[in-house]
Amino acid sequence: MSGKPLASADRRPSEFDTEIQPLRARVDAIDAQLLSLLNERAAVVADIYELKTRHGVPRFDRARTGAILDKLAAASTGPLTGDDVRALFTPLLTYFVERYSPPQD
């Protein structure tokens, strides 16, 4: 980092605060949506794991994971690139396979 301030020197902090607050509010709202969608995804994953358990099917399906990543990478209209999408979603998918334990009834 260069050590330069993010805002120009002639800009008043109150102006910056006025401009950044709506952007931060939008990010907060998007974060809340993401959390809601992740919880919704977790519920569906729990149903999938229950079905797989009943049928003796392994929890992890490499082909399905690859297809998910390919589909998401191709669907991104930017600014995230396909590589960005893969970098974000690979740990998420890994988490659900390796670490997520659905709640027991």
The ranges assigned to domains in the chain are 58-100
Q: What is the pLDDT of residue 99?
A: 87
Taking Cα atoms as reference points, which of 97, 90, 86, 85 lies closest to residue 49? Answer: 97
**pLDDT: which is higher, 6 or 60:** 60
Q: What is the reported pLDDT for 8?
A: 56
- Within a 10 A sphere around the Cβ of 96, how many other Cβ atoms? 20
Orientation of helix 13-55 relative to helix 82-98, angle to 10°: 50
Write down the pLDDT at residue 6: 61
Per-residue pLDDT at 13? 73
Q: CA 100 to CA 40: how far, in whole Å?
A: 13
pTM of the model: 0.79
**Confidence band of 56 (pLDDT split at 50, 70, 90):** very high
Q: How many residues can be counted in the chain? A: 105
